[in-house]
Amino acid sequence: MQQGIQELLKNYSGILLLLFGITVGSIIGIVAPNIVDYLKPLGDIFLNLLFVSVVPLVFFAVANSVSSLEQQSKFGKIMLIMCFTFLFFIITAALFTILVVYFFPVSGVSASKEVVEDAVNNDSWGNRIVSFFTVGEFTQLFSRQNMLALLIFSFMTGFSARKAGEQGKAFRVFIASGYEVMKELLLMIMKVAPIGLGAYFAYQVATLGPQLFGFYAKPLGLYYIAGVVYFLLFFSLYAFIAKGKNGVKSFWKNAIYPTLTALSTCSSFATMPANLQAAAKIGVPSQVANLVIPIGTTLHKNGSSMSSIIKIYVAFLIIGRDFFDPMNLLLALGITVFVSIVAGGIPNGGYIGEMLMISVYQLPQEAIPAVMIIGTLVDPLATVLNSVGQLVASMFVSRFVKV
């Protein structure tokens, strides 16, 4: 019995410590909100260390995965199945949310008088497209604000290292070694996660908590209930398709850590290391996980898909238009795919997606504050769905690819 308890504590010590840190942070945020400003720097230091370390990890992980794949056809198969998986998950999340708002309509929503800052980039669309794929200086690649450009560069580096053949062997060894070193660095940083995430969570509870019970309670309640149902039901279904009953057990056993990390940080980017660790424990091949999880973090967002539908629905309620008109629904699905895939790789992409929604439907300016504030308040659960979605997607892809 005692040995069993010791084994349990050994296996779940990281999760238990993280839960303890988050719980203490939540209590502090509720009972002593005046001191959270002093705790927030601890959380910011931890997140900054995490972000600085994750960027080179993405480069080494993707480049190493591409350069180590022996067959061109196998890489192409992984990419094809990955793209299909991302699109399938995003559209499924959107259709599920449409059914939810149809059967459980929200009433009593009217325009908000709150004013929010205009976060829209005034650059031309041509400049946005260029910055979407490339950056002007090499040093700008290694910024979490330019993740898509970094992913493309990592792909090209991996391809080039593989094409170099014997002459590129030393560089391929360097890439593989760099990947192992960055993994160890992140493991070291994650040891202080309970303190860093606890401090950050205290700040979130103290600042965002009171807003959840105001004007936006109904649509927020609908999103959070639907999101939890989707999280438990559909992720279990995807895990079952991937690896049967054992896949479901293994997924939920190892998804706890990424879920808590996503909930604490509200950052898919910060959750990437936890996802990579969880994928390894589940048994997802590294060649699959090291492609699907970094790319998915930028381009695959289940939570954003659901929030996009909710925001469009609320905007239509505000102006008294029929959201369920077939043309409006088709446009909503198109915008959702754009927001979840394309805008995910652009800094402030969520705001760009919201402005696209306003433009396509020709909605009045009064709808802008509502959709922006809803987007902010659903962010914790949306981040969980976005982040943990990469883990189950890697399982799903590995089901159809033998590496």
Work out the pLDDT band at 118, boundaries 50, 70, 90.
very low
- Per the CB < 8 A criterion, the answer to whether 92 and 234 are in contact is yes
CA 257 – CA 21 distance, rounded (Å): 13
Is the per-residue pLDDT at 115 higher than 80?
no
- Per the CB < 8 A criterion, the answer to whether 271 and 261 are in contact is yes
In whole angstroms, how far apart are CA 158 and each of 165, 182, 250, 335? 12, 17, 31, 32
268-282 vs 36-68: helix crossing angle, rounded to 10 = 50
- Per the CB < 8 A criterion, the answer to whether 89 and 393 are in contact is yes
Identify the residue whose tokens are 């936890």.
Answer: 274
Element (H, E) at 308: helix 302-319
- Per the CB < 8 A criterion, the answer to whether 345 and 228 are in contact is no
Domains observed in the chain? 1-400 (1.10.3860)
Q: Is the dihedral of CA 136, 141, 147, 150 positive or negative?
A: positive
Task: Give the residue-averaged pLDDT of 10-25.
Answer: 75
Higher pLDDT, 14 or 142: 142
**Predicted confidence (pLDDT) per residue in 171-224, tens digit:** 989 998 998 898 888 778 878 888 887 887 788 778 766 654 555 678 888 999
pTM for the model stands at 0.70
**Predicted confidence (pLDDT) per residue in 51-83, tens digit:** 788 788 878 887 887 787 655 556 778 888 998
**What's the whole-number average pLDDT of the chain?**
79
Work out the pLDDT band at 159, boundaries 50, 70, 90.
confident
